[in-house]
Amino acid sequence: MTEQTTPAQRPRASWINLVVDFGPLLVFFLTYRHFAPPSGANSIGVVLAVTKGTIAFMIATVAALVISRWRLGHVSPMLWLSTVLILGFGMLTVLLGDPFWVQVKPTAIYLLFAGILFAGLARGKPMLRYLLQSAFEGLDEQGWLKLSRNWAVFFLFLAALNEVLRQVLSFDGWLQAKLWGFTTLSFLFTFSQLPMVLRHGLGDKSRDEVLTNPPHE
């Protein structure tokens, strides 16, 4: 007999979504800050801290994949793609000892997702629905198309912003902006989409799912 999800279980699943989505980046941040030298002038110490943080990040990313499969019963294509790129760029960072690769990784992921979404829009298909592997209750096809378009544009913005920040900030400054700034921007953008998706039939029961399961790298 298949166990059905009750309303009481949904908030717990929502928190699991947030942990899976943003936990690995927090692990990277905390590990880097733990091992980073007191002064950013020690470039060797920074590289070592970045390397250790990257290793912790890769382990946490794989753990998030396992947790998603175990607790949520599925792994979205978006999470699979993110994991593959995180492991690839992470290995380059560790093997070459160059923070460039971990900094440029978000740009590559954002551009990949934007490309997939725009390619889908060109064919009249809302690829965001397939990337998230979600069926927000009541959201019609036009709503999915608009949501895919808006997130594609937002991903392009995030890619450009990441490139600017990694050029003008220190690694520590970039990392803080990545963790707190990009996460805040993503949540604000997700909130900004609620009126549109509600106009396109999104059910009240799916509102929390939209807020706690936003597209992410």
| DSSP assignment letter at 133 | T
The C-alpha atoms of residue 202 and residue 205 are separated, in whole angstroms, by 8
* Predicted confidence (pLDDT) per residue in 24-37, tens digit: 888 999 999 888 88
Could you report the per-residue pLDDT of 119-165, keeping only the tens digit for each?
Answer: 999 999 999 988 887 767 788 899 999 999 999 999 999 999 999 99
pLDDT category of residue 39 using cuts at 50, 70 and 90: low
Model confidence pLDDT, tens digit, residues 59-91 = 999 998 888 888 777 778 888 999 999 999 999
Determine the pLDDT at residue 37: 82
pLDDT in tens, 99-132: 999 999 999 999 999 999 999 999 999 999 888 8
Q: How far apart are CA 55 and CA 48, in angstroms?
A: 11
Contact 79, 24 (CB under 8 A): no
The ranges assigned to domains in the chain are 10-212
pTM: 0.84
pLDDT band at 212 (very low <50, low <70, confident <90, very high): low
Distances in Å between the Cα of 10 and the Cα atoms of 7, 86, 90, 110, 197 are 5, 28, 33, 28, 20
pLDDT of residue 40: 55
**What is the pLDDT, as a whole number, of residue 6?**
39
Contacts of 91 (CB under 8 A, 6+ apart): 58
pLDDT of residue 84: 93
